[in-house]
Structure formats: structure tokens, C-alpha cells
Chain A
Amino acid sequence: MTGFQYSAPVSVEEAVALLAVDGKARLLAGGTDLMVQMRSGRVAPSQVVDIKRIPGAIGIRQENGGFVIGAGTSCAALGEHAALCAAWPGVVEGANLIGSTQVQGRATMAGNLCNASPAADSVPALVAAGARCLVVGPQGQREIAVQDIPVTPGRNSLAPGEFVLELRLPARPAGASDAYLRAIPRTEMDIAVVGAGVNLVVAPDGTIIEAHVALGAVAPTVLLVKDAGAALVGSKLDDAALQRMEQAVSAACKPISDKRGTAEYRKSIAAVLARRTAKIAYQRAGERS
């Protein structure tokens, strides 16, 4: 790391002003990516703007039947929020797979999202959930879909001075649930080789009436595979529907080979994970109908 100015603003306006000073200012939420990037020299910010002291930046509140999660909220805090875990178990389990217990104590979903890694564990479930972000910046505030944040690996769509202040999860009907699974060589402490998030709404008779399937680490950004979701709608998650979903998943994958796995492996595993994840989500939805 080389020298930078540290500030911990207590208002959004102050934070926006600090972040807009120059193109090298960086936002600090949990810091679990930023600290590593600074240490390796990959980023050398002029300013580090800690947003965690802005009122509302940390915390989870229920609003209009949904949830609003402050950008500085640690993943560990998500796992401790009973109502959130009940409504969005997949979102929480994705977030709770990021790093170790220690990392959980700091890492945030907003940071995981804005870091724009295609393998980010919390993002597929957020995308499948249809989560949205409240973005604040010099031009005021706007709300955008979660999947519009990452652009390419390591780059997000935020303009200079902008940052995500809140993540918003929509209200849940009865019979709705979600799940997230990832493939890693170890049992923990790994970057997803493939991740799959599935969000379902199931009618009382077991018929899927809404389905969203999102995949991580199989393309430059997390993919929302519309065909995979469509393959499940109208089914009771029978084998034929699952097979159609798997085909859609395989067709959508455009993975690369790297140190964490081959493209071939990723493609094959994506279908397996999507199937397993869908089954978990379906079972959970059944328990909530």
C-alpha cells in the first residue's frame, strides 16, 4: 500500500464529495477486497472513504414487505437476521459463503457486488432474487438492478463519485424461496468455480409459477439465464423440467479455463449445481406455502 487519505464521513453528501475528488478515490465498506488489492499494489487509491459511519449504512430494515440492507452491513449480520434468513435463505447462504468466519465479520454484499468478480458468491442469488441497488452520487440517487452493476471482471458501472448505499430485496409471496450452491475444491475458503442461485415461487399445488436461475463464474459477469427459469415454470420440478433447465444452463455458459477450473468442467458442473440448487429452493418453497 502507498499513502492515501482516510476519511470516515457521516453523511452521504460528504461521502459523495470525497469520492468525487478524483478518479483514484476508493470506497471502503468491509474492506476484504480493497485491503487485499491495495496490499498487492493492484489499486493505489488517493482517498479511502469509509462509509460505515454514515447513518443507515449498517443495518437491515423491513420495508414494504421487503428488506433494505445497508451497504456496510456485514455478511455475518445477515446470517443473524431471522426474518431475512426465512424470506431469502439463498441470498443469505450466498453471502455467508464469502470467505471465512473472520471475513464474514467484515465483508458486505454491496462490496461483493461492486467488486464485480464473476465468481462473487452473493451475486447469483441476488440476481435471481431480482434485488435492486440504491445508488447515490453527485447527480442524486437512482435505483438499478443488481445485475447492472458489474460490467466486466473487476469493473462496475458506477460513475465517479457514485456508490451503492443500499441493497433492496422485494416482498415475498407465500410459497417463495431461494437457494445458492457453489462448487469449490475445498469445503470452505475458496472462490466459486461455479455458483448457482435459484429463486422460485411455487403454487400451493406444487406448480412453479415463477423461477429465476442465475449463474456465477461461467461468464464475464453473473448470468441471469432466462431460459433456465422458463424451463421450470409450470412444472413441479419433474425430471423433464430439470433436464430442460440443465440444457438451458449449459447453453448459456461461456466459461473460461483458469487456475480454478477448466471451461469444460465449469460447463458440466453448472448444470449439476443448478439442478441441486433448484431442488433445495423447491423444497424450501414448499415449506413456506
Chain B
Amino acid sequence: MNDMKPIKPDFKIVGTRPVRPDGVDKVTGKAAYAADMAMPGMLHGRIKRSPHAHARIVSIDTRKALALKGVKAVITAEDFPELDPSIVAAGGEAHHNMANYSANCMARGKALYEGHAVAAVAATSPSIARQALELIEVVYEPMPHVTDLLEAMKPDAPLLHDNMFTQGLPETPTKASNIAKFFKQERGNLEEGFASADLVFEQRYTTQPVHQGYIEPHACVASVSADGQAMVWCSSQGQFMVRDFSAKIVGMNQADLRVVPAEIGGGFGGKTVVYLEPLAIVLSRKAGRPVKIVMSRDEVFRATGPTSASVMDVKIGVMKDGRIVAGDVDCKFQAGGFTGSPVMAATMTALASYDVPHCRVTGWDIVTNTPKVAAYRAPAAPNAAFAVESALDEIARELGMDPMTLREINAVRNGMTAIYGAPLQHIGLVETLDAIKQHPHYEAPLGPNQGRGLAVGFWFNGGGESSVTVSINPDGTVSVATGTPDIGGSRASSAMMVAEALGVPYEKVRPIVADTASVGFNEITGGSRVTFSNGLALVRASEQLVDEIRLRAGLIWDVPADQVAYADGIATCLAPDRAETPLLLGEIADKAAHFGGPLSKEVALNADGVAPCFGVHLCDVEVDPDTGNVTVLRYTAAQDVGRAIHPSYVEGQIQGGAAQGIGWALNEEYVFNAKGQMENSGFLDYRMPIASDLPMIDTIMVEVPNPVHPYGVKGVGEVPIVPPLAAVANAVRDAIGKRICDLPLSPTRIHAAMTAG
């Protein structure tokens, strides 16, 4: 196949596994995360949060708190401008409505979930700040609340927003509801499709809210000067996002706000929005001193993330030979206190792995009295894949067909069109399925109480806006500035791509993640976009530098640039009859002042031409027949990675995503009590996978390169969390002989299923 041919087979650095540039600081404790920052005169901020899931805020009296010695500022929603709903995030991302984000950062008029911020203080010590919180008197008028997604959809459900009229329907309703938006993707003729099917399978699947679970709680330090210029140091997935959101929420010019990215202790999508920064800025502005705010783990659970609870109704029609002829999937997703669940992505991804001639996927965005959801690794795709891949597993059983064969028959192939309209090119699903099929795991025998599950996942991958600067220093070393936080090794891959393109050793390239004043605009680290988009920009900048180097060498030798060859850090004169000694990159750079000036290129681009990727996961479990406990015995994940720049970090993404998915499948969930308060807001009872819960996770990197990227990069970070939910659920089904359609597959739930009739 044409796609499989290596685009540039003679890599020197791409595909190797060097130590990451930021590694030593991270193993010695030197790496500076946001909470490690301290400034002279710094105050400590704390946030007062609603104990009610839904309550009108009648009044907030801050006088006693302000009177406490050491308290320097107290703020409420009144300290923030009221924003017009037309103000959205950079790039016109309408689902990031800034009025909603402002009200999410600081409740305005109503608290919409337990943990919703209602006031904040800055004081000279953390303990004074804590005491001050106790002195803020908030009068609430508690209102009926609704945390459950389906309950929230009922016509008589407590209303979160009086002005919410479902968008996206053919006719906008006149009655307000908790149904924020409706989405639909369709193709073909659904009725015709189902009418022609030999077998129609229908089932409902549900998932609970789960948290991204990054180990570093949100933290920031803000320092505002008397003239209104400000700096913020924080942990986020995008310093430019923080600048954009914060400037809009507090009402300041973006040029007056410089955001410095600290090291980030995990994000997984959860740090793609702001919670603390606007509060710290306003507190600092009021107090005239720097303000630091660090969340507790309890606050992280109650007030940030999570991802949506979801209810998915799947109807799939197949022929006896396994061909899927029709698919109808309805997805209801919880948005939390404000609109903005990722349900649209559910409608786009649910059937994206298969060629379904007649299909429809609908989606509903539902507000509930729970924390506003944030992105979580391939947002919505794991939920949708859990439903569809579980259904396919049952269909394969009903057809008496191997689950792999069913998927092979229906897998999307190059030249097809995705349900959302994009042409599918350079995709590697078939190759990835085959990689699993050829793996020894696929045929390995199973013991009693054991089962095996297979599942497929799809993710779009991302492109978008990236700006980078690549500079050759006078000694021939290279400095690289990118503007996307390094969440899992992007400095390593950046340095590798530049080193490859410039023909210099990896160790001579030093990348940084620059602040918002030091590099052009960048979108967030998210959507599996960084290595693709930044990579395009970095390689382009490097190629421009190579042209420049040839030009400079030509100036030194007084020959035209086309008479200069450059490779491996050495310029060679090709001019006939000239016996010039080749010039090292450093020698050319050192003469820059006299031959053309600084050797530096900035490339700002909007990357297009991204190719989607697929993951195929195989999971073996053993279920304790008496207790319902699940042990994951063996796990193999194959993925079409495009091209792995640094294979270790690609494997790491696959392993990490699989582990998160296993946690989502087995134990993780938000538990709310009757008052709508979260009952398990700590790591002890939230139960993410620990080291002893997991086996080694075998990875298979299938390389079907994307030719749009000079090194074939596609994006790898998100798809690994898409298949595990169904892979685990299908394995449990195989082990116990019963299908459980509701996550998590906790021992209690499995035990109940096993003991029921």
C-alpha cells in the first residue's frame, strides 16, 4: 500500500529514544510547578465554596472577613465585569462562552453545584485566609437540585437557567429546560437500512462522571502592578488560553497580561480552562500584592473537571455476513452547571471506525447541578465507544462471529468519508486490527473465570495555531521556543524534530516553553495537536534556517546559495574550481553579525491536513466468582501512531491512556448524596488505578504516516483512552457470561449481576 511507504526513511534522530531535555530537573525535584512559585510579599488566596448543589445567593457579607488582621482583599462576583454572551474564547470557540466561564469561576446570583466558588480572600498567611473564609457570611436560599442526567431532562426538573432554550432543534422551544443543545450527524436512509438488516440489536449504556485525576492540583500566582500590567505563573495546558480567558473574564487587555507557564503536573484536558487565575488577578489587583492560590484535592474534585455522565442508546442493524447496514445512536451527555458537554464529539466519533451506509447519531447537552465538565482525553469518544463497541461485541456473539472478523468487515478504509463529512485518508485501522490479530495475546489460552475483550477507538487528532521560534546561537547550538505546555514529553519531540531538520545532534538543541510575551500565539496543548502542529512549524522554521545557512555560507564564500550544500551541520561549497574548507554551523553562526544578521526564524501557522488515528485494545480479565473483583491479567494496545518521533513517549501515552480507561471501566465515578454533594472527593474513595491494580501494558506502534507532516506525525495522546472501557467490559462479559451495560464495573455491580437469576 502506498501509505505504508516511509516518507523519509533515513532518519537519524526521529525514532530514537533520547533522554528528555527537562528530565534531570524532574528526577531531582528541581522542576518548578505552579505551587512551587513564591514571591516577596506574596499573599495566600482561598476560596469560599457553596455547600449547596443549587441555591440562590441572597447576600454575601464580607465585612467581618475584611476586618480580620492580615486579610488584604475579599472578592465576590461583583468584582468581575458582567460579560456579554457573545464573548467567546479565542478562535471563536462558541462553546467556551466567557460569561459562563466567569460565572463558573465565581458564582453570580446562583450557586449551581456544590463546590461552586462564591467568594475569595487574600491574606498574609494560609491560616488567616482560612479563618477569613469562615467570617464571610453568605445567605443562601437553597433550591431543588438535580444531579442526574435523565432526571434533569424531565419537563418538571429543577431549572438551572431560566433562559435556556434548547438550541439546534428545527424549532427552538419556548419553554426553558435543562437541555442546552441538540446535535445530529446523519447519512443515508435509516429506515431503509434497518429494514434491510437481518438482525437489529438495541441496548442502552450508561457511564458516570469521572475526573481527569491529574496528580497536581490547580495552582497559580498572580501579580498585578498599579498600572494594570500583570503576570501570572500557573499550571495549565495553554498559557495563551489562560491569557485569553483571564483577560476577558477580568476585563483587561491581553497585552497587559503575561502568562508564564509553569511545569504542569498532568492535565488530560482538565487544565484547558481557568478556575483560579481570574480570581488571583482580581485579588492581586485589589490587594496590590502578588497572590497565590493552590487548590486542595477536595476542591479539585468538587469544582473542576470532571467529564460527563452519559446515557447512550444504540441501535445497530447487521446482515448475517456481518456487514453493518444501519446505526442509530442517541447520546445524552451531562454538562454540569453550564452548557458545554463534549456530546458533539460523541456524535462524530460513535460510528467513525466503521463504514455504516445508513446512520444517524444524535446528541443532547444537558445541564445538571454538578461541576461544569471539562475536556478529558478524547472528550466523549470513550463514552461513545463504550456503547458501540459493547454492542458490536454482543452482535458478534449473536452472529456467532469472531469479534475481530466483525470489525475487519466493517472497518473504515482510505477513501471513505467520515460520518461528519471529512474524507478519510492515510488511516491505519485495518493495519492496527491486524497487528492485534498477529500478536500472541490474541490466541493465548484463557483459564476459568477469565475472559477476553476487544475494542476499537477513533480520534480525530488536532491541528491548529502554533507559533515557534528556532534560533541558531553563535556557537552553533540551537534554541527553540514553543508556546504549548509540555505535558508528556513535547520538548523532547520538538528538539528531535529540529535536530533532524537541521542535521545537528539532539543534545545541541534546547527547547523551552515560552511565556505569552515571548512567542506568538498558540492554541492549547490538547486534541493530540502539539507534535503535529508545532512539528510542522518547527520543521518549516528549520528548513528556512537551512536555506539561510546556505545563503550565509554563500556570502562568506561569495558564491550563490545554490552552490552551497548543507548536511549534518556542515556547509560545503559546490562551486566548481573552488577549494573552500567546509564550514561548521557554528562557524557560520559566529559570523552572523557580518554576514546577514541573527540566524533566527519564527513560524506561525494554522496547521491543516491532520489525519485521524485508531487504537485497538485487547484485554484479559479474571473475575472472582464470589466477590465480583476484577483482575486485569493482560493488556495489549495497538495504535496507528503515524510516526513515533520518540517511541518511549508514544508508548507512554498509550499505556497511560489505557490505564485511565481501565480505571473508568472498573471503579472510578462521582458519588453524590441526596443533597447533591460529592461523597468521594478524595483519592482514597475515588479509586484511580494504583500500581498493584495493573499488569504491564504491551504496546504495538503501527506506523501509517501522515504525509502532510514532514515526519509523518499524526497525534497519539488521546485515542488510547477510547477503547479500554469497552475492552474491559467485553472481557468481563466473556468471563462471567453476563453483560453489564452500566459503568463502573465495580465488584458490587458485578456481584449483583452474577447472583441475579
Contacts and interface: CB of A to CB of B under 8 A. Distances in A.
Interface string A248-265: 000000000001111011
Given A187-B692, A191-B684, A262-B752, 15 more contacts: A2-B131, A3-B127, A183-B629, A185-B667, A186-B687, A188-B693, A189-B690, A191-B685, A259-B680, A262-B748, A264-B752, A265-B751, A269-B626, A272-B626, A272-B627
B747 A185 contact: yes
B536 interface: no
Nearest to A188: B692
B30 to A, nearest CB: 22
A275 B684 CA distance: 27
Contacts of A264: 752
Q: Is the interface of B mostly helix, strand, loop or mixed?
A: helix
A188 B683 CA distance: 12
Nearest to A269: B627
A185 B628 CA distance: 9
A187 B693 contact: yes
Given A2-B127, A186-B690, A186-B693, A268 B751 contact: yes
A268 B627 CA distance: 8
Q: List the 10 closest A-B pairs by CB distance, nearest first.
A: A187-B692, A272-B626, A265-B748, A259-B671, A259-B679, A185-B667, A188-B692, A187-B693, A261-B748, A189-B690
Contacts of B746: 185
Contacts of B748: 193, 261-262, 265
A183 B747 contact: yes
16 contacts: A40-B298, A185-B667, A185-B747, A186-B667, A187-B690, A187-B692, A188-B690, A189-B683, A189-B684, A191-B685, A260-B685, A261-B748, A262-B748, A265-B747, A265-B752, A269-B751
A14 interface: no
A185 B666 contact: yes
Chain B interface extent, by class: 20 to 34
A190 interface: yes
Interface of B: 127, 130-131, 298, 626-629, 666-667, 671, 679-680, 683-685, 687, 689-690, 692-693, 746-748, 751-752, 755
Nearest to A261: B748
B679 A190 contact: no
A2 B130 contact: yes
Contacts of B687: 185-186, 190
Contacts of B671: 259
Interface of A: 1-3, 40, 183, 185-191, 193, 259-262, 264-265, 268-269, 272-273
A216 B298 CA distance: 27
A274 B751 CA distance: 17
A185 B745 CA distance: 10
A213 B747 CA distance: 24
A268 to B, nearest CB: 7
A58 B689 CA distance: 34
A190 B629 CA distance: 13
Contacts of A189: 683-684, 690
Q: Which of B127, B684, B755 has the most CB of A within 10 A?
A: B684
A272 B755 CA distance: 14
A72 B226 CA distance: 54
Contacts of B629: 183, 185
A157 B434 CA distance: 65
A175 to B, nearest CB: 28
A193 B628 CA distance: 13
A261 B752 CA distance: 11
A272 B692 CA distance: 23
Contact of B755 (A183, A259, A260, A268): A268
B694 to A, nearest CB: 9
A282 to B, nearest CB: 18
Nearest to A100: B690
Q: Which of B626, B627, B687, B690 has the most CB of A within 10 A?
A: B627
Nearest to B751: A265
Nearest to B672: A259
Nearest to B630: A185
Contacts of B692: 186-188
Nearest to A194: B627
Nearest to B667: A185
Contacts of B747: 183, 185, 193, 261, 265
A259 B127 contact: no
Nearest to B628: A265
Contacts of B679: 259
Q: Which of A3, A185, A264 has the most CB of B within 10 A?
A: A185
A264 B671 CA distance: 18
Contacts of A259: 671, 679-680, 685
B82 to A, nearest CB: 34
Nearest to A276: B626
Nearest to A265: B748
Contacts of B683: 189
A121 to B, nearest CB: 13
A191 B671 CA distance: 16
A79 B680 CA distance: 30
Contacts of B690: 186-189
Nearest to B691: A188
Nearest to B694: A187
A2 B129 CA distance: 11
Contacts of A273: 627
Nearest to B666: A185
A269 B750 CA distance: 13
Contacts of B684: 189-191
A151 B175 CA distance: 54
Contacts of B751: 265, 268-269
Given A40-B298, A189-B690, A265-B747, A183 B627 contact: yes
A3 B130 CA distance: 11
B632 to A, nearest CB: 10
A264 B613 CA distance: 44
Nearest to B679: A259
Nearest to B755: A268
B416 to A, nearest CB: 41
Q: Which of B626, B628, B755 has the most CB of A within 10 A?
A: B626
A40 B299 CA distance: 11
Nearest to B745: A185
Nearest to A266: B748
Nearest to B744: A185
A143 B628 CA distance: 41
A42 B693 CA distance: 31
A255 to B, nearest CB: 12
A15 B684 CA distance: 32
Nearest to B296: A39
B135 to A, nearest CB: 13
A261 B666 CA distance: 14
A189 B688 CA distance: 10
A188 B667 CA distance: 13
Q: Which of B666, B671, B748, B752 has the most CB of A within 10 A?
A: B748
